[in-house]
A and B are shown apart, each in its own frame.
Chain A
């Protein structure tokens, strides 16, 4: 499997560049390490993620934040992993995250919440990206002194890109924090948050790609950009429609395999992995969005019953759950490892400001704007407003933003190159501070609000 190879290859490269920080003291390049050494280092890193999760849960912050910080502490040289490697990693991890998000979407529990949830997820991404983009632009132009030198006077397109990458919320992070106060949270709020988080992943990705497409500079043959514009819109609509349909087609193929080919429960994990990746790959090859396709495949796979006596929905979920945990740990560890902490400092103030705007203004706004449709009461709505934890998807999309920068109209190559690490640093600061603040305060906020008591 592609994924496994990356899983093995990527962390393996990580510790090599940690000369300053500890795991390997002498400056041995990674290629010089014997196989046994690599295996030891990788496995130790994985064991350490478990310790980090435990510590973070004790501290009351989302487990993924601890793993992320661990990754940063290990710290590798970014250049050790080829750009293609990073690209492959982020694509694979996103596709798997979305497949699992689809699998955990339960339509049955969502009857009255479906339309509100869809508005919140799709409309919320658009509203929050737009408002946050404007806010970033305003902060950038109004408070130039808190930004690093290469980030002065950002074009609006770049602000919008950064905002769009921050559009999706993370169900896992929210629910892991809420676990401690589980009784206080009404079931429907849990389902809604879970559903919103899973649907806004593909919508944020699509929205980001749409923004990237629309802000990219046009070729010489098309000076006013109208042809490019039409093509972009067509591609956008096509990627949604084709993504959904290819996802459905792959669902049937997966069902056929589950029903007729699979002979024992042990094989379910293999099917899950292969189906998720092929759903992504086939859809992308056929001009659809692989992420939507992976999501749809997961969604319909989980919401159908199979004739195979070995396979039930529980088996499917329980086989894939450990894998998802592994996936999540790996992704966050790697995002941490690949991130260069040198870029935190310059973006710290700006990142914290944007994170504050995101939590206090943008998120509540993007929830309250759909208030006319809500079946929730005021306390529940208030809780949903504070449940906007950002997670893996923004970190992965940071790489997409970085890739897109050189193509943006009005940015010179040198400018774009200077911005790349800073944009990553900024997104990192926003995500971490958001996880930290909301993660720590959410249980207390929930106890204070006591939404279950209001019925």
Chain B
């Protein structure tokens, strides 16, 4: 698969820089609103959850945000972070943070635009996402970019949101609890089928139960592991910062690897620039672009917290980072601290994967529907669970590498679209921000 490897490094060589630049550009263009608004965004979310606003949308603010968070937090936050640490050293964490911080603006922009240009499908459901702002917001000669995004999106999610995760979770359950991989696959597939048949509302309901509980459990477990090693913490933080900004490494080119691993993981984990989570956020209530944009930043923040927790566990346990594969390293890390209770980690992590299946199923469905119409929904769901069940028995199949290439190809039309629409975005966001500052009202418009 050297061709795929070449293609992958070719595209990621471009994308890592571009996504970073896009984030910086938007952060500056939005006058740092993306960072200044984080506390207000939390207030906005809390108010919307307590007094759900009226208006159009597939589900209310709480279910909607949890469904999107379910898509964002996946195995990438656990095994992905470990793999990046193994490849790029502790300094990767700094660049995960930086990538996420400038990624806030990108997330805000995507979600804002997706909500601004959301529309209805033939079934009358509210739908949105990059394909809609690409095909409606751009000049006529560039509208085909929307179809390009949808095509790559529909194919890529089969790997990154389904096959890869299924493979990892099945192998984790197999090695730790001796569950046969096929059983994992079939059970997961059946549950996923039932959940996605209920539409965004049911996806949200399940995520709303699973995600807060499993995140809490996971963070508590991480804390239990890190606290006994608290005396190591300053040293670890020093290493992270020192390695991340090591000036000597810039000349040697090794820092480039650290940066690119970190940013790449940051991107894959919070999906800034890939345009996936706006598909869920823009379909919910309220249909206020500014509000949904703010929520997407909160979700990125939650995502980076989980990434950081994993990284601290790996770094504080003191195991060497040059192990064979990330799953084994994580196993050892948790086993050293938790002993016999390390199965609790599985309990926390399985829902991460499950909510990713349902959320990415929704993304793929919407992308395909954009291309082929609503009649493609049921066939796509069948393909989705079939891939899920089959992937559980595969071992590091090369096909997932192909979907990673496709996944990065989604970002290209999206980046072009955001750049071209950034004028409108900046103007409207600044207006609304000025209004908020003048009236001190954080209530979203329906």
Answer yes or no: B424 CB below 8 A from chain A CBs.
Answer: no
Q: Are A249 and B13 in contact (CB under 8 A)?
A: no
Task: State in angstroms the CA–CA spacing of A237 and B6 once bound together.
Answer: 16
Measured between beta carbons, the chain B residues less than 8 angstroms from A244 are 419
Measured between beta carbons, the chain B residues less than 8 angstroms from A245 are 18, 21-22, 25, 419
Measured between beta carbons, the chain B residues less than 8 angstroms from A256 are 28
Known A-B contacts A115-B141, A245-B22; the reply to A230 vs B28 at CB < 8 A is no
Q: Are A248 and B17 in contact (CB under 8 A)?
A: no
Q: Are B13 and A234 in contact (CB under 8 A)?
A: yes
Q: Are A234 and B10 in contact (CB under 8 A)?
A: yes
Q: Are A241 and B14 in contact (CB under 8 A)?
A: yes
Do most interface residues of chain A lie in helix, strand or loop, or is the interface mixed?
helix
Contact flags B229-260 to A (C-beta < 8 A → 1, else 0): 00000000000000000000000000000000
Do most interface residues of chain B lie in helix, strand or loop, or is the interface mixed?
helix
Known A-B contacts A115-B141, A230-B6; the reply to A249 vs B14 at CB < 8 A is no
A232 CB, nearest partner CB in chain B, Å: 12
Contact flags A261-297 to B (C-beta < 8 A → 1, else 0): 0000000000000000000000000110000000000
Measured between beta carbons, the chain B residues less than 8 angstroms from A253 are 28
Answer yes or no: A242 CB below 8 A from chain B CBs.
Answer: yes
Using C-beta atoms within 8 Å of the partner chain, give the interface range for chain A: 10 to 19
Answer yes or no: A238 CB below 8 A from chain B CBs.
Answer: yes
Measured between beta carbons, the chain B residues less than 8 angstroms from A230 are 6, 10
B111 CB, nearest partner CB in chain A, Å: 20
Task: State in angstroms the CA–CA spacing of A248 and B422 once bound together.
Answer: 11
Q: Which residue of A lies closest to B17 (CB)?
A: A242
A213 CB, nearest partner CB in chain B, Å: 15
Contact flags B11-34 to A (C-beta < 8 A → 1, else 0): 001100110011011001100000
Q: Are A249 and B17 in contact (CB under 8 A)?
A: no
Most-contacted residue by chain A among B17, B21, B24 (CB, 10 A):
B21
Q: Are A249 and B21 in contact (CB under 8 A)?
A: yes
Q: Which residue of B lies closest to A242 (CB)?
A: B17
Q: Are A249 and B24 in contact (CB under 8 A)?
A: yes
Task: State in angstroms the CA–CA spacing of A253 and B25 once bound together.
Answer: 10
Measured between beta carbons, the chain B residues less than 8 angstroms from A242 are 17-18, 21
Task: State in angstroms the CA–CA spacing of A181 and B164 once bound together.
Answer: 68
Q: Are A252 and B18 in contact (CB under 8 A)?
A: no
Partner of B14, one of A115, A234, A246, A286: A234
Please give the residue numbers on chain B whose beta carbons come within 8 Å of chain A beta carbons, in ascending order: 6, 10, 13-14, 17-18, 21-22, 24-25, 28-29, 141, 419
Please give the residue numbers on chain A whose beta carbons come within 8 Å of chain B beta carbons, in ascending order: 115, 230, 234, 237-238, 241-242, 244-246, 248-249, 252-253, 256, 286-287
Query: In the complex, given contacts A230-B10, A246-B21, A286-B21, what are 12 additional A-B residue pairs having Cβ atoms less than 8 angstroms apart?
Result: A241-B17, A242-B17, A242-B18, A244-B419, A245-B22, A245-B25, A245-B419, A249-B24, A249-B25, A252-B29, A253-B28, A287-B17
15 contacts between A and B (CB under 8 A): A115-B141, A230-B6, A234-B13, A237-B14, A238-B13, A241-B17, A242-B21, A245-B25, A245-B419, A249-B25, A249-B28, A252-B28, A252-B29, A256-B28, A286-B17
